Amino acid sequence: MSLDTQQLLEFDRKFIWHPYTSIENPLPVYPVESASGVRIRLMDGRELIDGMASWWSVIHGYSHPVLVQALQEQAARLCHVMFGGLTHEPAVDLARLLVDLTPAGLNRVFFCDSGSVAVEVAMKMAIQYWQSLGRPAKNRFLTVRSGYHGDTFHAMSVCDPVTGMHHIFAGNLPRYLFADRPQVGFHDQWDEADIASFAALIERHHDELSAVILEPIVQGAGGMRFYHPEYLRRVRTLCDHYDVLLIADEIATCFGRSGKLFACEHAGISPDIICLGKALTGGTMTLAAVLATEKIGEGISAGDPGVFMHGPTFMGNPLACRVAVASINLLLASDWQKRVLAIEQQLREGLSPCRDMAHVLDVRVLGAIGVVELQEPVRMERIQAAFVQRGVWVRPFGRLVYLMPPYCMEAADLALLTLALVEVVAEEGKT
């Protein structure tokens, strides 16, 4: 039995938990009928220009015919098969692509279900690697403040303890090391003092550190900041010097979001382990991947129990792998760098009026990412409604009002999106 819009909303409100909401006092939700290109169509007929790319993943827009066709063809052939003891062409094709495209040396591929799980997998790899080498004391992690790495249990332990949204779990999480967040912005002049906190911690604790984990260049949900490439280069050098692995969490930045295919490319470095997600399938299916070096693969395999101890039920799902291959090839066949650069320039121009607003702390842009940071947190219910009334979908959090549009967004739609953001931010300062 189908429900009308009101019945759907009533059931949703009573029984369904949405991300970061109260089940007893939930925020309003907007029922979606369909989505195509850069527009989300609500059940009441309104259309919203999507400025979020569905949490940064739908880089080609919704219902792209190439991705839909890939799903349909794969569904008719093989929807799923266990990955234990079996393999299939979509997984092999995707692994070959990832090994070819990711920074040099990453040639061992592990498929998993989501970004948070990818971080869990990477952290387990690091711990098991040192365990296998007979150095079990190297079982802690170093990261930087203002980082965010996901909502699962071990991933929470390396999120910023204040801005990472998980402070209430602090007493139940492993206690790891946090260097001061990078202060020098992406476009600023490098200051050697910026690496001092990190350098002091890795020097003092390297004997107990399995890995450093950080988001290269772009810190996402922990603060939406863009730091200097030299910081990442120095981190790589220090990890090499002190024999500590480097995990790059590229879940939010992979496949072009920062203006490079992978954000590590801004610094010209290769991590020991990389986590990929979000845009991996063009936002069509849930899928993530962790790539490691041959050294890590051999190290884990050489020790007890001789196998990597992780194996999700839906690992290497053929539907997800097939659409990921289609999405990556679609991206590579396009002039995506030119398009992201055009979005960057338009975001910089379109958001610039916010710089003159007294209640705005900062405006920053990198690649297809535009951020307006306010002095005070937004009132979510009011600001969300204000965006919907203007025909756009923008989902702020905390003090951050930001845009990460699909790469296919045309200039006219992006102009409407930035105008709406400027108007709503201006209103936020009046009340």
The pLDDT assigned to 91 comes to: 98
d(CA 373, CA 401): 6
Cα 360 from chain centroid? 25
Does the residue 127 lie in any domain? yes
**Distance in Å from the first CA to the final CA of the chain:** 44
Percent of residues, the chain, with pLDDT higher than 90: 93
The pLDDT assigned to 113 comes to: 94
The pLDDT assigned to 167 comes to: 79
Strands (E), 282-382: 288-293, 360-366, 369-374
Does 86 lie in the same domain as 145? yes
Does 377 lie in the same domain as 318? no
Contact 187, 177 (CB under 8 A): no
Q: What mean pLDDT is predicted for residues 57-80?
A: 98
Does the residue 278 lie in any domain? yes
Retrieve residue 27's tokens.
Answer: 């925020």
Beta bridge partners of 211: 141, 245
Band (171; pLDDT cuts 50, 70, 90): confident
Residue finishing a domain among 303, 332, 361:
332
Beta bridge partners of 429: none
Sorted by sequence, the CB contacts under 8 Å of residue 308 that are 6+ apart come out as: 110, 124, 125, 128, 300, 301
Does the residue 21 lie in any domain? no
Instruction: Point out the residues that are catalytic.
Output: 20, 148, 249, 278
Does the residue 227 lie in any domain? yes
Does the residue 17 lie in any domain? no
Does 161 lie in the same domain as 256? yes
Does the residue 228 lie in any domain? yes
The pLDDT assigned to 166 comes to: 77
Does 312 lie in the same domain as 248? yes
Please name the residue that has the structure tokens 């920053």.
Answer: 364
Query: How far, CA to CA in Å, does 402 sit from each of 120, 149, 172, 200?
Result: 27, 19, 32, 33
pLDDT digits (tens, 9 = 90+) for 79-103: 999 999 999 999 999 999 999 999 9
Band (164; pLDDT cuts 50, 70, 90): low
Does 105 lie in the same domain as 235? yes
Does 81 lie in the same domain as 41? no
d(CA 244, CA 241): 8
CATH code where residue 128 lies: 3.40.640.10
Query: How far, CA to CA in Å, does 249 sit from each of 121, 262, 312?
Result: 12, 10, 20
394: left (phi over 0), alpha (psi -120 to 50) or beta: beta
The pLDDT assigned to 430 comes to: 85
3-state secondary structure of 247: strand
Q: What mean pLDDT is predicted for residues 57-84?
A: 98
Query: What is the total count of domains within the chain?
Result: 2
Retrieve residue 411's tokens.
Answer: 């200039």
Q: What mean pLDDT is predicted for residues 360-373?
A: 98
Does 118 lie in the same domain as 255? yes
- Report helix angle 89-101 to 318-332, nearest 10: 40
d(CA 67, CA 84): 27
Band (169; pLDDT cuts 50, 70, 90): confident
Note if the bond before 305 is cis, omega within 30 degrees.
Answer: yes
- Report helix angle 318-332 to 65-77, nearest 10: 150
Contact 425, 360 (CB under 8 A): yes
Does 388 lie in the same domain as 304? no
Retrieve residue 247's tokens.
Answer: 């995990």
Q: What mean pLDDT is predicted for residues 322-328?
A: 98
Does 326 lie in the same domain as 229? yes
Residue finishing a domain among 312, 332, 352:
332
Question: What length is written for the chain?
Answer: 431
Q: H or E segment at 20? A: none
What's phi and psi for 373, nearest 5 deg?
A: -100, 125
pLDDT digits (tens, 9 = 90+) for 199-214: 999 999 999 999 999 9
The pLDDT assigned to 168 comes to: 85
Does 92 lie in the same domain as 36? no
pLDDT at 1 over 60: no
Mean pLDDT, the chain, whole residue set:
96
Residue finishing a domain among 298, 314, 332:
332
d(CA 188, CA 251): 25
Q: What mean pLDDT is predicted for residues 366-375?
A: 98
Domain of 229? 67-332
Does the residue 15 lie in any domain? no
CATH code where residue 417 lies: 3.90.1150.10
Does 71 lie in the same domain as 56? no
pLDDT at 361 over 80: yes
Does 228 lie in the same domain as 122? yes
DSSP 155-185: HHTTS-TTTTS-GGGGGGS---EEEPPP-SB
